[in-house]
Each structure stands twice: as C-alpha cells, then as structure tokens.
Chains A and B, each alone.
Chain A
Amino acid sequence: MKLTLRVWRQKNADAEGAMSTYEVDGISSDMSFLEMLDTLNEELILKGEDPVAFDHDCREGICGACSLVINGDAHGPERTTTCQLHMRSFKDGDTIDIEPWRASAFPVIKDLVVDRSAFDRIIQAGGYITAPTGTAPEAHATPVPKPDADYAFEHAECIGCGACVAACPNGAAMLFTSAKINHLNVLPQGAPERESRVLDMVAQMDDEGFGGCTLTGECATACPKGIPLMSITNMNREWLRATRKAGKR
C-alpha cells in the first residue's frame, strides 16, 4: 500500500520542531509499523537526508523503548506497543500522523525520541525492596497467597514506556507510579517499606513536573500491558494511609 506520513521532525532539544510530510510506497500489511519506518529511513539515507530518529529495541513489546503517538493515540489504534502494531491496521492511501510522546516531563531529544529518565528517578526514590545480595531467606520461608502474587504480577507487568503519560491530558505519571507501588506493597517482602515507598515515590513524581490525576482514564486505555485504573485509586489509599500513620508518630 501507499501511505502519506506526517512526521514530527526536531533536530535537537533546543531546536524548533515541525511536521514534515513523506510518501511511502510498497508497504506490506505484514510489516510492523516500525518496519514501515525502517523502509522510509532507508530511502531517506540514500537520498542524503536525515533519517527519522525513534526509540526502539526489542520489537517484541516488552522493553518499553518504542514510543510513538500515532494519529493522536499513544502506540496507535491497537492496544499494544508501537513495535507490535502491524500495517494491517491501516489501509492504502491513509495519511498517518506520527509524533513523539508529548509531556513537559519528557523533553524531546530528537524527532520522535524523548527523555524518560524521570521514570528512573521515580523508581530510585523507592520503587524497590531493600534486599542486598546474600541476605535472602529461603524462598519458601514466606508463602505468598496466590491472589496476592497474581495481583503483584499484574502490576509488575508495566514496561515503563510512558504511554500513560503521553495519553493523559494532564501529563500525569500516576499509572506508572502506582503500578510499582501496587506491585511491591501487596507482597509480604515489601511490607517494611510500605509507607516510605509510597510517600517518597509520589513526592519524586511531583518534583519531576508530571501533572495531577483527574481520573480521566486515558492512561489505562493506552497502557499496552493493561495496568488497571484501580491501581491509581489503590495508590491514593496507600498514600493516605501512610500520611496518617506518619502524622501519628
């Protein structure tokens, strides 16, 4: 099929950006969206033009690197990562808009590549269980009820892609932050740091300049891993609980 692409081009963080239009032809419906962009880039290189920069790595939907807003939707029309989106979701003659994640906490580095290091700093603030190597007790010493283990897993699936932030009208990182808090706070191993974790991570999230949550729900709709919206509610409950407990001391 033949497509018209309108792509956000921006030389670097300080440069002005603008949409540029490209035509691509001979696109097969079996191609992934990123393979379609590969095709465009091969042509651009041979024409002596600068290829379109975009983040990508595993192309299996698990590393969380790919991050495109396609026709206004984070990761495009299917509920998956950009790399797992295939061209069969489009038809011949379509015009496709391709933009980077848009959020003030994710500044553009080049074209479609953004800086998501704010996410790493949120994890560094408390998104872990303190268990230095060598200190661990026998794995079966602490059974974890299956529903809790499944609940932890469901939230641990977050790939840190940032689609939740890109989709949110407020640029909030509540779904990302709450996924980690829910994962670790439900486990017995995570209990000793339960309060400090939620307080520190939420404080860091605010410091990074992410917006507030107005429960729009766009984040959970865009999430390729299906992290549920309830995750945010549970984080708020954890935060309230920790705040009140801290006040009593």
Chain B
Amino acid sequence: MSSYTDYATGEPVVDTKAPKGPVNERWDTRRFEAKLVNPANRRKHTIIVVGTGLAGGSAGATLAEQGYHVVQFCFQDSPRRAHSVAAQGGINAAKNYRNDGDSIHRLFYDTVKGGDFRARESNVHRLAQISVEIIDQCVAQGVPFAREYGGLLDNRSFGGVQVSRTFYARGQTGQQLLLGAYQALSRQVAAGNIELHPRTEMLDLIVVDGRARGIVARDLVTGKIDTYFADAVVLASGGYGNVFYLSTNAMNSNATAIWRAHRKGAYFANPCFTQIHPTCIPRTGDHQSKLTLMSESLRNDGRIWVPKAKGDNRPPNQIPEDERDYYLERIYPSFGNLVPRDIASRAAKNVCDEGRGVGPGGQGVYLDFAEAIQRMGRKAVEAKYGNLFDMYQRITDEDPYEVPMRIYPAVHYTMGGLWVDYDLQTTIPGLFAIGEANFSDHGANRLGASALMQGLADGYFVLPSTINDYLARNPHKDDVDDTHPAALEAVRETKERLEKLLAVNGDRTPDSFHREIGELMWEFCGMARTDEGLRKALERIPEIREEFWRRIKVPGAGEEFNQSLEKANRVVDYLELAELMCLDALHRAESCGGHFREESQTPDGEAARKDDEFSYAAAWEFTGTGEAPVLHKEDLVFEYVHPTQRSYA
C-alpha cells in the first residue's frame, strides 16, 4: 500500500464541453448544438433525482414538465424540508432594477473575482445570464419576495459587491424559493410524472458498462434495501460541510451520495474549498450539536468590532468609542463590513488569535446595531432583521437591540464537489451533479446570495437543457434490472457495510466519532492550514478510521427505523472524505479564497495566490480507501476577467 500523500498526477482534464467563441454566446451555442429528445420519446426515459433542495426540487419539477418520468428521493419526511430551506439572506440576479451599474457582465466579473480566480469562466457567465430568468420564474410561482410600496421588487446589497442585486423574502429567502420549487414538484407528483420516495436514502450508485444506470437506496422506515434503475442519475444531494461536525448544515445533511459516486469513478474536485461563514452564533459548550448562521445581510447595517486592548473584559456598552477597533472598516475602507466572507472570517480569527476576542473563551466578535438603530430607528431595524434578532435572542438569551450580537465564523458551504463539465455531467457518463453537490461555479470562495442562484440555475435551466443531449445520444434500453451483476454487487456491498456496522458492538457512539473527526478537521483543515498541520491530520485520520471499525456501537437492527445506523453509515464516508480534503489542502500550496495556507500570504496577511502553479481545478480520482488518489488537473483559462490579487481595501 502506497502512502496516501504519494499521489500520482494523471492525464489532465482537457475537454470541459464548453463551446468556444465569445463567452456571452456560449450558452446559446451549447443549447443549439445539444441534441434534443422528441417530446413523444421523453416519457420512455426515466431519470433518477437524488435530493429535493433548490437544485433537485427545481430539476425534478422541470424534467417532469418536459415529459420525462422522474423518480425522486429525499431522506427527509417531505421534500419541503431539504436544507435549502434554511438559507436566509437572498438570491442574486443581474436585473439592474436599481440602475446602479449592474449587468450580467458585472455579476460574472464579481463572481469570478469573488471566487479568487479558481472557477471556470464559461460556467460563471452562464450563471450570471440565467440569474435574471430565475427571478421571473420564482415570481410567477408566487414566491413572495420583498416589495416596495409601488409594488415592485426590493433589493439589498451583499458582501463582495458594490451594487444592490440581491432579492429577498425577509430572512427566509431559501424557505420561500424552496417552497416554490416544492410546489412545482408537488404539481408533477399529482400529475403522475414524478414518483416520489421520501424517507429514502441513496447508499450507492449502480454503474453498468461505464454508465450510471441506477442507485441502491434504503427505506429509512422499514430499513429495506432496494434498487432503482434509470437512463440517467442526477445527484442534488448538497454539500459536505458536516464533515466538520459543527457547521450550519442541517443535522442530517451528508456526503454519502457524492462520496459513493466518487468511489464508483466520479472525480471529486477541489474538496478543500470550504466556506467559513463570518457571522454565526458562537458555540456555548460541548453539548453543541450544530451552529446557527446569522445572515450576512446583517453586515449591511451592523458594525463589526472588538476592543482595542487585549483581554478587555468590560461589557460592550462600557467600552468607549475610541477604545473600539472596527477592524474591517479600518483595514478595508472601501468595502468595510461588506468584504467577502473568506476575508471577514479570517479577520475575525486574527483578532481573536491576538487575544481581543469577546465572550466565552474569547471566540467571538461584536456585530453592533446601536448606530443603525440610532440612524434608522428601532422600527426600521425590526422590519429588516426582526426574525434574525428573535432567533439570536432565543438561542443566546441576549437582546441584540440592547447588547451587540456576538458572532464567530463557522463552516457553512462547500465550494468543492463532484467535478462536472459544462453540461453538469460528472466523469461517469449519465451521472450529473447539480447545486452544492458539484464544484462548478464558485471557485475558491462563494459570494453571498449566490448559492440559491446556482441551485436554481442548475435545476430549472441548465440541467434540463443539457441532459437532453445525453439522453438523445443514449436511447432508452430496458436492459438492467435487479438481477444485473452490477446491481447485485452494489446491493451486496451496501448490505455488508451496514451489517458490519451493526456487528462490531463496540463502546463508542457514531456521534463520538463524528465529533472527533470534525474537531480534527476544524483544527487542521479549517480557517488556516499549514503543511505541518495537514500532515498531522493525514496521519491521524487512518487511525480514527481503524478505531471506528473496532469500537463503533450501533444499537438495533438493519431492517427497521434506525437513526443510529443512518448516522454511523454517514460517518463512514466522512472518515474517507476528510482524508481527501486534507490531501487537496496539502497539495495546494497557495492561498486562495477560503483556502488559506499560512505559508502563502502577503506581507499584510492577505491570501497570496500562486497562479503559475495552481491556476487549475484539482479533480481527484478514487483508487481505494486509504490509497493515494490520482490527480487530474483542469487548467483554468481567464480570457475575460484577468487574475489580479483581490483587493477590497
């Protein structure tokens, strides 16, 4: 067995399927060149969609509207509960309703720059183009966006940009957009075009003759393992932030669908690109099960500060103005409190590392609304942020109208994911990945209010166009069922894994292992990473994995409702994914976006990219558990937005 860090570099990824020509014509070109499936033939095709969030929900509904037979899965009891529901702030679109100089090109530019020049230009431009259609679509569905008194849509601004292009529905934009997609999906379920399987979790992918043809899934109520077959499989299973144990993800969000696909041959791109969100409620103790985000929109009016002096323990209201350090306003005068997330997070970490953090353990900074309340009045602040303030008060028992909020960065989003081409197809033909599950649009850092945009762009507009091309070139065949050797093998492997988990009967709970791997990842693969720390983590992970299979204890049986078994099986995959994340972070010896390598910084402590060496997406090929993977590089070419050292000063 070779050392895990001894990875080989394989053939580069050359063909991304992005058309040539001017960037603003590429999406039109692709749509025109893509083969189509005759409407009468569509109903013969079955498409599996895993996940019902913004990407999966919108894709399932749209594919069914087009006439395909959709078989859709979610582990939640209802598609309406997918974690997109928790997104607060808003959704970007280049409508330029404010007449403030916005355009598709500016959204494209901001996104490439915000991603620190590690995203594919063709995809990002398409995202910006589609953004305007998304708003139209959602309004037609009855999504109750915030409106002005004249009846027109309201906008606000978000981090990393200087225009107001964010559409929102109070602090519940994700919920409202998800309900729009869920309702469209429900309409297709009622019409008989979607076969919906709630409380059912994908546990493996079935690949036949090199093509994705089905999945193995467990009915979470009965525990029964079943197989499902299709002409194409779409993964919309979200990101993998829960590898950190504490994150703003939902408790059951997990990486199993994408990790199992990776094991079956789909390349995993840029796994180390994770987003640490600057404004989350700090943890209160070891019992903490998850972290709660406070929307970035709060940075529009809240001012972030810490005391100038180290160890200043006075209550915030007793610290005079001239003894406060509004550090973001000081360091980045032109963007101030609205710098991108990676920069705001790192700045918070730095002041806390200096010993100027506030609250228990010094792991927090103030987000202060005193000035906003004085300027706008309490009523206006309430109307804008009321539900967020209530949520903060409920969790912390402190009144943010009276005392400044305390916030600290937390894992929030993963830019990495399954590698996909311009058609959102993975390296396994017939397997598509959309939304947070893929790596495509955000580079090394995602801008605020862009996740909802990407999920819906992929699901409503991109995938339903590009998947036609694949299906047209691969006409439907009824040649696979549960007796096919590939299906039998996938089911056998899945059952064996679950039986093994139940059989160990050790002395540690699934949660204790999840916590352990999460703490390790936060320490060594979190906000700041070093060669030394990552090597330490890479040494430790196989040891934890070995201990897991020796000491894990899962009560109950497989053929029943068993939440401990669900959890343990997800932790199995975290214990492998964590290793790949650390390796990716180790190999990328540069800082970019959310990936900060301490060895690579400018004299002022900003992230220093190394474009000569690392201007590529790293797509990793699986070779075996604990075995060194193979690296495939997709070179990134910037024809329109020329890489510069990002500056928000």
Residues of A within 8 A of B (CB): 12, 28, 30-32, 34-35, 38-39, 42, 44-46, 48-51, 53, 55-65, 78, 80, 84, 86, 88, 109-110, 113, 115-117, 119-120, 123-125, 127-140, 142-146, 149, 152-153, 156-157, 159-160, 183-184, 187, 189-190
Q: In the complex, what residues of A have CB within 8 A of residue B288's CB?
A: 35
- Contacts A53-B563, A136-B136, A145-B151 known; 12 new A-B pairs at CB < 8 A: A30-B287, A50-B555, A61-B394, A131-B184, A133-B65, A133-B464, A136-B140, A143-B150, A156-B169, A159-B85, A184-B142, A189-B141
Contact A46 B250 (CB under 8 A): no
Contact B511 A38 (CB under 8 A): yes
Q: Which residue of A130, A133, A137, A149 has the most chain B CB atoms within 10 A of its CB atom?
A: A133
Instruction: State whether A157 and B136 are in contact (beta carbons under 8 Å apart), knowing that A51-B555, A116-B77, A152-B142 are contacts in the complex.
Output: no
**Distance (whole angstroms) from the CB of B36 to the closest CB of chain A:** 14
Taken together as a complex, chains A and B put the C-alpha atoms of A32 and B512 apart, in Å, by 19
Contact B152 A140 (CB under 8 A): yes
Total A-B Cβ pairs within 8 A: 214
Q: In the complex, what residues of B have CB within 8 A of residue A124's CB?
A: 186-187, 189-190
Taken together as a complex, chains A and B put the C-alpha atoms of A142 and B512 apart, in Å, by 54
Q: In the complex, what residues of A have CB within 8 A of residue B285's CB?
A: 28, 30-31
**Distance (whole angstroms) from the CB of A204 to the closest CB of chain B:** 10
Instruction: State whether A45 and B564 are in contact (beta carbons under 8 Å apart), knowing that A139-B95, A183-B144 are contacts in the complex.
Output: yes
A-B CB proximity, top 6 nearest: A143-B151, A128-B183, A136-B140, A131-B140, A124-B190, A153-B144
Contact B142 A62 (CB under 8 A): no
Q: In the complex, what residues of B have CB within 8 A of residue A88's CB?
A: 397
**Distance (whole angstroms) from the CB of B218 to the closest CB of chain A:** 15
Taken together as a complex, chains A and B put the C-alpha atoms of A189 and B139 apart, in Å, by 8
Contact B460 A133 (CB under 8 A): yes
Taken together as a complex, chains A and B put the C-alpha atoms of A57 and B81 apart, in Å, by 8
Q: For B507, give the chain A residue with the smallest CB separation.
A: A46
**Distance (whole angstroms) from the CB of B369 to the closest CB of chain A:** 21
- Per-residue CB contact flags for chain B residues 377-416 toward chain A (1 = under 8 Å, else 0) read 0000000000000010011010000000000000000000
Taken together as a complex, chains A and B put the C-alpha atoms of A152 and B144 apart, in Å, by 6
Q: Kindly identify, within residues 111 to 155 of chain B, every residue whose CB is under 8 Å from any CB belonging to chain A.
A: 133, 135-137, 139-142, 144-153
Contact A113 B394 (CB under 8 A): no
**Distance (whole angstroms) from the CB of B319 to the closest CB of chain A:** 24
Contact A57 B142 (CB under 8 A): no
Check if B509 is an interface residue, CB within 8 A of chain A.
yes
Instruction: State whether A59 and B290 are in contact (beta carbons under 8 Å apart), knowing that A115-B77, A131-B140, A133-B58 are contacts in the complex.
Output: yes
Q: Could you say which of B139, B176, B186, B464 contacts A127, with CB atoms under 8 Å apart?
A: B186
Q: In the complex, what residues of B have CB within 8 A of residue A123's CB?
A: 80, 182-183, 186
Taken together as a complex, chains A and B put the C-alpha atoms of A72 and B455 apart, in Å, by 40
Q: Kindly identify, within residues 169 to 199 of chain B, every residue whose CB is under 8 Å from any CB belonging to chain A.
A: 169-170, 172, 174-176, 179, 182-184, 186-187, 189-190, 198
Q: Could you say which of A56, A134, A136 contacts B251, with CB atoms under 8 Å apart?
A: A56
Taken together as a complex, chains A and B put the C-alpha atoms of A156 and B182 apart, in Å, by 13
Taken together as a complex, chains A and B put the C-alpha atoms of A190 and B183 apart, in Å, by 13
Contact B137 A133 (CB under 8 A): yes
Check if B83 is an interface residue, CB within 8 A of chain A.
yes
Taken together as a complex, chains A and B put the C-alpha atoms of A117 and B469 apart, in Å, by 35
Count of B interface residues, CB-CB < 8 Å: 79
Contact B175 A136 (CB under 8 A): no
Check if B560 is an interface residue, CB within 8 A of chain A.
yes
Contact B78 A120 (CB under 8 A): yes
Would you give 13 A-B contacts (Cβ < 8 Å), ordered by A? A32-B289, A35-B287, A35-B288, A58-B251, A59-B292, A63-B83, A84-B394, A117-B77, A120-B79, A128-B183, A129-B142, A160-B78, A187-B142
**Distance (whole angstroms) from the CB of B148 to the closest CB of chain A:** 7
Contact A12 B61 (CB under 8 A): no
Q: Kindly identify, within residues 559 to 596 of chain B, every residue whose CB is under 8 Å from any CB belonging to chain A.
A: 560-561, 563-564
Contact A139 B287 (CB under 8 A): no
Check if B213 is an interface residue, CB within 8 A of chain A.
no
Q: Could you say which of B79, B147, B461 contacts A146, with CB atoms under 8 Å apart?
A: B147
Contact A117 B198 (CB under 8 A): yes
Taken together as a complex, chains A and B put the C-alpha atoms of A240 and B134 apart, in Å, by 35
**Distance (whole angstroms) from the CB of A146 to the closest CB of chain B:** 5
Contact A80 B394 (CB under 8 A): yes
Contact A51 B77 (CB under 8 A): no
Check if B284 is an interface residue, CB within 8 A of chain A.
yes
Q: For B283, give the chain A residue with the smallest CB separation.
A: A30
Contact B78 A117 (CB under 8 A): yes
Instruction: State whether A63 and B461 are in contact (beta carbons under 8 Å apart), knowing that A133-B65, A149-B144 are contacts in the complex.
Output: no
Taken together as a complex, chains A and B put the C-alpha atoms of A136 and B461 apart, in Å, by 13
Check if B252 is an interface residue, CB within 8 A of chain A.
yes
Q: In the complex, what residues of B have CB within 8 A of residue A39's CB?
A: 287
Q: In the complex, what residues of A have CB within 8 A of residue B395's CB?
A: 32, 84, 86
Contact B555 A48 (CB under 8 A): yes
Q: For B397, give the chain A residue with the smallest CB separation.
A: A88
Taken together as a complex, chains A and B put the C-alpha atoms of A160 and B186 apart, in Å, by 14
Contact B140 A189 (CB under 8 A): yes
Q: Which residue of B172, B187, B285 has the most chain A CB atoms within 10 A of its CB atom?
A: B187
Instruction: State whether A128 and B150 are in contact (beta carbons under 8 Å apart), knowing that A58-B85, A190-B142 are contacts in the complex.
Output: no
**Distance (whole angstroms) from the CB of A24 to the closest CB of chain B:** 12
Contact B461 A133 (CB under 8 A): yes
Q: In the complex, what residues of A have CB within 8 A of residue B176's CB?
A: 153, 156
Q: Could you say which of A51, A137, A139 contacts B564, with CB atoms under 8 Å apart?
A: A51
**Distance (whole angstroms) from the CB of A71 to the closest CB of chain B:** 19
Taken together as a complex, chains A and B put the C-alpha atoms of A31 and B396 apart, in Å, by 10
Q: In the complex, what residues of B have CB within 8 A of residue A80's CB?
A: 394
Q: Which residue of B142, B169, B293, B554 has the most chain A CB atoms within 10 A of its CB atom?
A: B142
Check if B337 is an interface residue, CB within 8 A of chain A.
no
Q: For A36, give the chain B residue with the smallest CB separation.
A: B287
Contact A144 B151 (CB under 8 A): yes
Contact A55 B77 (CB under 8 A): yes
Check if B609 is an interface residue, CB within 8 A of chain A.
no
**Distance (whole angstroms) from the CB of A184 to the closest CB of chain B:** 5
Instruction: State whether A30 and B76 are in contact (beta carbons under 8 Å apart), knowing that A84-B391, A133-B137, A136-B137 are contacts in the complex.
Output: no
